[in-house]
């Protein structure tokens, strides 16, 4: 899956099959800062293991959006 855009941030999902026929997904969070649109890695979600690829991706991307909302609401909670 390619990157997603959310409130000026990029969410970079990664999803992989597991040995027990499930799917594991996480997302990296990248903020765009300044006039030069500098990309800054801000953190990642935990791994979400689900029965299907879509379920794993949905869980990880939902958590990424929550983390971004939390950072925007209170910048002192930055992840990195």
Alpha-carbon span 9 to 3, nearest angstrom: 10
Residue 52 has a pLDDT of 98
pLDDT single digits (tens) 29-74: 988 776 666 777 778 899 999 999 999 999 999 999 999 999 889 8
Structure tokens at 58: 């949905």
pTM for the model stands at 0.84
- Say if residues 18 and 49 touch (Cβ distance below 8 Å): yes
- Say if residues 26 and 35 touch (Cβ distance below 8 Å): no
Task: Tell me what the mean pLDDT of segment 13-29 comes to.
Answer: 96
Structure tokens at 12: 């970079």
Q: List 12's β-bridge partners, or say none.
A: 28
Residue 1 has a pLDDT of 64
Residue 80 has a pLDDT of 46
């Amino acid at each position: 899956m390619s990157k997603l855009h959310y409130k000026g941030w990029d969410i970079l999902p990664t999803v992989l099959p597991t040995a027990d026929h499930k799917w594991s997904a996480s997302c990296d969070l990248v903020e765009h800062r300044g006039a030069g649109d500098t990309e800054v890695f801000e953190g990642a979600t935990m791994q979400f293991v689900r029965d299907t690829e879509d379920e794993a991706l949905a869980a990880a991307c939902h958590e990424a959006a929550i983390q971004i909302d939390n950072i925007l609401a209170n910048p002192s909670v930055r992840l990195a």
